[in-house]
Amino acid sequence: MTQVKDRAYWFEKRETLQIEGRAFIDGAYVDACKGATFCSYSPIDGQPLATVAACTDADVNLAVAAARRSFNAGVWADLPPRERKAALLKWAALMQAHLEELALLESLDSGKPISDTTGGDLPGTIYCLEWFAELVDKVHGEVPAIDPQFFGTVTHQALGVVAAVVPWNYPLLMAAWKFSPALAAGNSVVLKPSEKSPLTALRIAGLALQAGIPAGVFNVVPGDGSVGRALSLHLDVDCIAFTGSGKVGRQIAANAASSNLKRVWLELGGKSANIVMADCPDIPRAAASAAAAIFANMGQICSAGSRLLVQRAVADELIAELIEAAKGYQPGHPLDPQSVTGSIIDRIQFEQVARYIDIGKREARLLAGGNALSLAGEGAYLEPTIFLADANARIANEEIFGPVLTVIVFDTLEEAIAIANQTEYGLAAAVWSSNIDTLRTATRALKAGTVWGNCYDELVDMNFPFGGFKESGNGRDNSAHALSKYTELKSTIIRCG
């Protein structure tokens, strides 16, 4: 008889969950060199989850040395592409086999609803790894047409040691966006998960070894920002990929420049505009999409549609629909499969979002929400919040990273595009219209790495690159374009006669 996976099921499963908190270096779980640890607390209720190794420069040095040895020995980089592909696919299969364990661990560590981790985050992680695994043996070089006395090729070669520093909002998925293409290209990886959500990264490291990925090829060093700093300064790291805040991204770039000019790929913040024109083909659908764009994952999404720009003629109708749609995003206990949203990651982030709500109450009109909720002990829960504001308000221009939506009314398409483009960010945008010329004009003019038309972030497809313009970063995750970030181009020219 199949057991119903209700709240009681996940609570019972939590009681028997085994959690690994040690670092993973050179194919083994190890304590931090200095024996230091920190406690990982669950944002669900503020209760301790695990004792985690607090790595320092010494641990970073060991992990990078292991990655360098494995790369130089060719145990991974020199494998035939089909063998790398097979190992990565086996790793993905092991994640699938452990999906419930990993999903529960992710929910406990990040406050996400179990329905999100089982239905989105883990399947997305596995899909990403499988996609790049399948790409491994389908990438080809070039044979330029040159003087017949010569023979030449243009090939991609793995960089060497890749460091990945990833955030807490999608702990495993964001890690996969980095390590999947880096490993597929033949590199060795040192992964630094956020100290707020390190547990799934540590767990999958053991699965990588079980899948046949050689020791030293995939390492995980948990710890605070000093670990990321050490990786960004390390002279034997060839590339660092980072997703997080602009402040930290700038420091990583500066550290890379002051050390060995390692490659730096940054995916930073966003203040994305979702534009609804008066000729929107479906106002209720646009309102429902706008609510999902900001309130899903508690608004902790870099590409969240945090600014809703509405043409004046339909503003009242859309706002009414939006307020109704927002009611579907009231947070609930993350281990209840009926919950659509869960908790903010921790009290620090909760207080930052609360400060912006206070700012919004002073400079704008509160339309819905704005209150904290008490759901589970010391957990951090917030109502979905909607403000009507001027385009120049702080809450309309600064990244809040929480369930706070700013609605801005405009009159013309030109005005909407100007408002959309006025921030330093350029990660994502959307426009809703029945007029193909409006869609074409807007999608070309919006300064964003991803622009949706008559939808917002509804298609999950690894074929599309993800990244931003302006201060939202550089480079792209996902798609075949991401693979080239972790390779060097080599021109080889041979005289034949």
Which residues are within 8 A (CB) of 189 and not within 5 positions of it... i.e. 6 or more apart?
Answer: 67, 161, 162, 163, 164, 178, 179, 182, 183, 217, 218, 219
DSSP state of 212: T
The residue ranges of DSSP E strands in 26-177, in sequence order, are 28-30, 37-41, 48-53, 150-158, 161-165
Q: How far apart are CA 408 and CA 387, in angstroms?
A: 9
Backbone dihedral region for residue 377 (phi beyond 0: left; psi -120 to 50: alpha; all else: beta): left
- Give the number of other Cβ atoms within 10 Å of residue 72's Cβ: 13
DSSP state of 214: P
On whether the CB atoms of residues 478 and 467 are closer than 8 A, the answer is no
On whether the CB atoms of residues 342 and 380 are closer than 8 A, the answer is no
Q: Of the candidates 265, 237, 269, 232, which has an alpha carbon nearest to the alpha carbon of residue 251?
A: 232
Q: How far apart are CA 409 and CA 313, in angstroms?
A: 9
Q: How far apart are CA 220 and CA 66, in angstroms?
A: 11
Give the β-pairing of 404-410 and 307-311: parallel
Strand, coil or helix: 168: coil
End-to-end CA distance of the chain: 74
Residue 366 has φ and ψ, to the nearest 5°, of -75, 120
Residue 201 has φ and ψ, to the nearest 5°, of -60, -40
Cα–chain center distance at 416: 28
Q: How far apart are CA 381 and CA 404, in angstroms?
A: 13
Query: Which residues does the annotation mark as catalytic?
Result: 267, 302
Residue 75 has φ and ψ, to the nearest 5°, of -65, -20
Q: List, in sequence order, every residue forming a beta bridge with 368; answer none if it has no partner.
A: 386
DSSP state of 121: I
